[in-house]
Structure 1
């Protein structure tokens, strides 16, 4: 039996959304999202899970590191392993087991947040996603770390409900930019999809979501009203640093607080975890991209896809690009 509307809640769901790869020239945009069911109270999730989790990258040998992915990840063996271990351990708790391969990683979320199969086929390097995960850390060690996290979560009353990423390939991005005219509108389109999925899954659980704010937008009322036309709406705060809104459907007994904050991944555990999920998904996809083109041109130096190195890669990859015969719109971003 559901609790009475006026009954005090013993748990609530906290969630976060963050992106990776908005600025590069090559490779997908990824939007990470995470949701955790937590006991009511003032403790942060870093405090609740401290026996298994830290926000300090120096603790990565012993504990999972949840922080802004720029602090968690580096292009070293330890930096890659640190990011992968965090992303896959939390995904394991959310889904019962870590994704077994790259395709499972991209398909880990609800159907509406998975990339379209036909869209992926237009980008043939997605056929070179890793056949097995993890890539950068030992599977046995990953299992031990996940079990340690599971025990810490059980003892603290925390349940990981979601930890995944929405992958948006370049061709889809370019079409969206032509339609919307700018990056921020395209990002919002996908953020709104994630917010709707969270509303459907957890809107009856005192849901709050912290979204990392990108660009100069400080007001989101109009966007939220269009995304949730059935909900009652209140703007609680709109400042240069953070905007806060409340959505409520009394008929459905659903409500959601939504924050849009600068550097949200430094303030919110779920948003920091979402940052790690987004970055890991992008790195896995860029690995597939580099493998595909190196198969066509052995010795081709890989790229992370960012603007200056992306341009270098395009110059270097003339032979591979000629062999691939792909339209520019699925390879290079227009914005």
Structure 2
């Protein structure tokens, strides 16, 4: 990837997070947000620099974008509107984005923008996506997104900040199960997939690059996986603890921290991953509602997933598809 205006006076910050690690139904979604900024600006400065257009602590009737850990922005009771408004607005603000906020979009078209290399085969083999006619936005208002986008663009220009890229990896059950069979460890699968996604955005030149990510379960040692993902680099371990693990190699540093969504780039990645995961589950539930009108929608978490799986059992057998397409083994 070629980053705009990247040079000796600019640095790259990459935030990385996931959504859907625990469920039995639906995909695991991993996301990265890639930012370039002046070297004089730190990642901690971003909240204050952009306070006029976004916040991680909204007040009553706040018109700024709510950007935080996706669990704070979205819940079943709060609804998806705030999450959707923030993600679509930031997607449109992304450097070189062709997302148009004046017209309704199609879910699959949006997904293709975020995937970068087209739909994976495991995604297209699932009938709930093949027949998906999901139009966007689901709940957010396009006029509000368009209005806040203008303010976001002005704020980015003022502090010479650029959101260079938003990208996701949608890991559907079939692919997830194959990786579990290969590595026999759920946490290892998450770590390997995350590093495989982020490595494409590491600058090849001497531009300083900082990768920020949440901890992967209880893992504190990431060095073996960094050596596999970046075989041409030599990494030094700066710290490994329950709170944070830090590594560096020349101009590249990586930090895996508890509650890393306190950093804006990670919060944006968290929200992008959650939004795509929720859209996938919306398509999934609409498909099964048509086939089994009495079935209640599911978020895919273990206890409710077992209930849902039992209710669709007869209809699922009629499809004559492998269980691995539907159900995650771990």
TM-score (norm 2): 0.89
Aligned position for 1:262: 258
Q: How far has the Cα of 1:241 moved from its partner?
A: 1.1
Q: Distance in 2 between matches of 1:147 and 1:208?
A: 28
Closer, same or farther in 2 for the Cα pair 1:30/1:238, shift >3 Å?
Answer: same
In structure 1, the gaps of 5 or more residues are 1-7, 249-254
**2:109 pairs with 104, 108, 117, which one?**
104
What secondary structure does 2:80 align onto? helix
Q: Retained in 2: the 8 A contact 1:296–1:323?
A: no
1:161-172 equivalences in 2 (<5 Å): 161-172=164-175
What secondary structure does 2:113 align onto? coil
Q: Distance in 1 between matches of 2:60 and 2:168?
A: 25
1:56-67 equivalences in 2 (<5 Å): 56-58=57-59, 61-67=62-68
Q: How far has the Cα of 1:87 moved from its partner?
A: 1.1
What secondary structure does 1:320 align onto? helix
Closer, same or farther in 2 for the Cα pair 1:98/1:133, shift >3 Å?
Answer: farther
Q: How far has the Cα of 1:49 moved from its partner?
A: 0.9
Q: How far has the Cα of 1:323 moved from its partner?
A: 3.4
Q: Retained in 1: the 8 A contact 2:115–2:169?
A: no
Q: Distance in 2 between matches of 1:79 and 1:45?
A: 27
**1:222 pairs with 217, 220, 224, which one?**
224
Q: Distance in 1 between matches of 2:205 and 2:132?
A: 34
Q: Distance in 1 between matches of 2:307 and 2:153?
A: 44
**2:323 pairs with 321, 328, 332, which one?**
328
Aligned position for 1:302: 297
Q: How far has the Cα of 1:290 moved from its partner?
A: 0.7
Aligned position for 1:233: 235
Closer, same or farther in 2 for the Cα pair 1:12/1:51, shift >3 Å?
Answer: same
1:180-259 equivalences in 2 (<5 Å): 180-200=183-203, 204-248=206-250, 255-259=251-255
Q: Distance in 1 between matches of 2:245 and 2:306?
A: 37
Q: Distance in 1 between matches of 2:247 and 2:85?
A: 34
C-alpha offsets along residues 18-38 of structure 1, whole Å, 9 cap, x if unaligned?
Answer: 111111010000011111112
Aligned position for 1:316: 311
1:149-160 equivalences in 2 (<5 Å): 149-160=152-163
Aligned position for 2:4: none
Closer, same or farther in 2 for the Cα pair 1:37/1:65, shift >3 Å?
Answer: same
Aligned position for 1:124: 127
Q: Distance in 1 between matches of 2:19 and 2:80?
A: 15
C-alpha offsets along residues 292-325 of structure 1, whole Å, 9 cap, x if unaligned?
Answer: 1112122421111111111111122234323333
Q: How far has the Cα of 1:166 moved from its partner?
A: 1.2
Aligned position for 1:3: none
Closer, same or farther in 2 for the Cα pair 1:150/1:128, shift >3 Å?
Answer: farther
Q: How far has the Cα of 1:204 moved from its partner?
A: 4.2
Aligned position for 1:53: 54
Q: How far has the Cα of 1:203 moved from its partner?
A: 5.7
Q: Retained in 1: the 8 A contact 2:223–2:237?
A: yes
Q: Distance in 2 between matches of 1:57 and 1:324?
A: 46
C-alpha offsets along residues 33-85 of structure 1, whole Å, 9 cap, x if unaligned?
Answer: 11111222345211111111000244674011111100010224x53111111
Q: Distance in 1 between matches of 2:314 and 2:99?
A: 37
What secondary structure does 2:217 align onto? coil
Closer, same or farther in 2 for the Cα pair 1:161/1:130, shift >3 Å?
Answer: farther
Q: How far has the Cα of 1:174 moved from its partner?
A: 0.5
